[in-house]
């Protein structure tokens, strides 16, 4: 089955240079414009990705395409953490049909 992603609101989570959970959470706050109360833990990230009230208004109307790029260094430096991050992305996308998470396979630029 094919899903039409055209017209979705695009946000890029740029993990270039990220090698640990704290840096991933900092990047998530920056790139996803998460609120000050964001807890900087895995559960908070899953909740934020699934919570339309923290999405940009256009994303609520259009659906959200989250593209994660530059993740390979993190995956190599902390494979267990990266596995957890992937699980969080998958869980959020599974429970939120309007959310699609895509991992880029290209270079970090």
Task: Indicate which CATH number applies to the domain containing 31.
Answer: 3.30.370.10
Residue 59 domain-assigned?
A: yes
Supply the range of the domain harboring residue 13.
9-103
Sort 57 into a burial class: Cβ within 10 Å, 0-12 / 13-18 / 19+: exposed
Write out pLDDT tens, residues 81-104.
999 999 999 999 999 999 999 999
Residue 40 pLDDT exceeds 70: yes
What is the longest distance spanned by two Cα atoms in the chain?
38
Q: What total of structural domains would you count in the chain?
A: 1
Sort 64 into a burial class: Cβ within 10 Å, 0-12 / 13-18 / 19+: buried
Residue 11 pLDDT exceeds 90: yes
Write out pLDDT tens, residues 53-65.
999 999 999 999 9
Residue 63 domain-assigned?
A: yes
Question: How much is the mean pLDDT over the chain?
Answer: 91
Residue 108 domain-assigned?
A: no
CA distance 85 to 21: 9
Q: The whole model's pTM is what?
A: 0.89
């Amino acid at each position: 089955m094919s899903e039409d992603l055209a017209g979705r609101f695009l946000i890029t989570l740029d993990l270039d240079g990220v090698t640990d959970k704290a840096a991933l959470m900092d990047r998530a706050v920056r790139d996803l414009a998460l609120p000050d109360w964001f807890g900087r833990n895995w559960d908070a990230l899953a909740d934020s990705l699934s919570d339309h009230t923290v999405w940009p208004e256009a994303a609520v109307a259009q659906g959200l395409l989250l593209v994660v790029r530059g993740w390979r260094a993190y995956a190599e430096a902390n494979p267990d953490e990266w596995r957890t991050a992937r699980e969080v992305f998958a869980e959020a996308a599974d429970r939120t049909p309007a959310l699609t998470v895509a991992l880029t396979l290209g270079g970090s630029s």
